[in-house]
Structure 1
Amino acid sequence: MELIEALNWRYAAKRMNGEKVPEEKVNRILDAIQLAPTSLGLQPFSVIVVEDEQLKKEISEKSNQQPQVMEGSHLLVFASWNEVQDESIDRYMRDIATTRGVDEESLDGFKTMIKQFIGQEDVETVKNWTARQAYIAFGVGLVAAAAEKVDATPMEGFDKNEMDKILGLKEKGLSSVVMITLGYRDAEKDGLAAAQKVRRQKEELFVRA
């Protein structure tokens, strides 16, 4: 499916039919999320892939019981780092050196720049920055799902503190930010499934300078 055609097809499904999304499709969506661009290439977040029905039920109760949580096949919870530790930056440098076959010492300038950038900001600013990086990957995930013709419903309407408790995120240095339910639309129950997509006119949305 061509990209624009896929984006015209996609919408935030309000009801899903419970059909399981094939694992190969889920994996390609996760691959796309892994390849998403982030500032400095640091990827300061994790994505929790939830399939367990009991866990989904607990999440549903803290997500205003939005039906897609239970009716969907998979739930992707994007959780950003609460802080960027030196060890995480050091590990990133080792990954670069290994992947690109370069001397790790050659990356000292880059490593120092990142540590100085992080070190000059307060905790809240860093948390907001890591959350924005998670949102970039989140957006890529929505596009990837459309390309796979898998419905993906973006969700912010959940109790983040409770979500963090359910998934044990605080102990991992993470905070839930946003989530996606993956599945297939139920056109019979979802009255908006066939509705025309409404978007601002290009003349209003795009400003050429």
Structure 2
Amino acid sequence: MNIIKQLKWRYATKKFDVTKKVSSEKLDILKQAFNLTATSFGLQTIKLIIVESETLRQPLVAHAYNQKQVLEASHLLVICMQEDILDTDVVAYYDNIKSIRNTPETILKPYREDLVNMMETMSISQRHQWSKNQAYIALGNLMTVCAVENIDSCPMEGFSPEAIDKALQLNKMGLKSVLLLPVGYRDETDMFAGFAKVRKSINEAVIEL
């Protein structure tokens, strides 16, 4: 697998083939890739919602400025953040470390207390921004994995988070939507698939010191 070749193959898909579906095996790869995404401190204050139901997706099109990919794709991935980061989230994270790595409490305690204090000194808007940053890391990771697996995708910021949250009842899960990523397989008539990529030269984009 030539990953550069796959990244050149990838594009923001405008038209999906509605007859083609992402298999459960491929979806499992995306689930694992999301869960393995690097997050600050490893705290994972983001979650992935996978929406397959066309009944659920149909009204979401209007909330995404009529971008039809939301419905025409095989599945819609919704990257969400927690409504807030609580002390219990930090405690649960370090409990998980203790369980998996058998790390002594004497080592974990100061790190746990420092992270609790750090979160408490942040405003709610700062904690939201902190979680949003993690969501973008996950988006990039998912897009790359999609390319490697020959799955088409289209990253979306253009939608009404409040409307999406209400439609999917995310408040009941303590979540807020941050990004959308329809995934599936390109329609062969999508003219954008054949467009050459427009990028700066490597010398313009990369500075070596």
The TM-score with structure 2 as length reference comes to 0.95
Q: Contact 1:30/1:141 (CA < 8 Å) preserved in 2?
A: no
Are 1:17 and 2:9 an aligned pair?
no
* Whole-angstrom distance in 1 between the partners of 2:41 and 2:103: 18
Aligned to 1:151: 152
Are 1:91 and 2:107 an aligned pair?
no
Aligned to 1:100: 101
* Whole-angstrom distance in 2 between the partners of 1:185 and 1:105: 53
2:30 is paired with a residue whose SS is helix
Give aligned-pair identity as a percent: 35
Question: Aligned Cα RMSD in Å?
Answer: 1.2
**Equivalent runs, 1:175-190 vs 2, <5 Å:** 175-188=176-189, 190=190
Q: Please, which runs of 5 or more residues in structure 2 have no aligned partner?
A: none
Aligned to 1:191: 191
Aligned to 2:74: 73
> How many residue pairs are counted as aligned between the two chains?
208
Cα deviation code 1:75-112 (max 9, x no counterpart): 11011122110111111111111111223453111101
* Whole-angstrom distance in 1 between the partners of 2:102 and 2:63: 46
Aligned to 1:26: 27
What residue identity is the alignment partner of 1:50? V
Shift of 1:121: 1.1
1:155 is paired with a residue whose SS is coil
**Equivalent runs, 1:133-152 vs 2, <5 Å:** 133-152=134-153
What residue identity is the alignment partner of 1:90? V
* Whole-angstrom distance in 2 between the partners of 1:153 and 1:58: 18
* Whole-angstrom distance in 1 between the partners of 2:28 and 2:12: 20
Cα deviation code 1:55-90 (max 9, x no counterpart): 111211211221211111111101112211011111
Cα deviation code 1:136-164 (max 9, x no counterpart): 11110000000100001101111111011
Q: Please, which runs of 5 or more residues in structure 1 have no aligned partner?
A: none
1:11 is paired with a residue whose SS is coil
Quick check: 80-89 or 97-106, which moved more?
A: 97-106
Cα deviation code 1:104-123 (max 9, x no counterpart): 45311110111111111111
* Whole-angstrom distance in 2 between the partners of 1:130 and 1:105: 28
1:54 is paired with a residue whose SS is helix
1:192 is paired with a residue whose SS is helix
1:75 is paired with a residue whose SS is strand
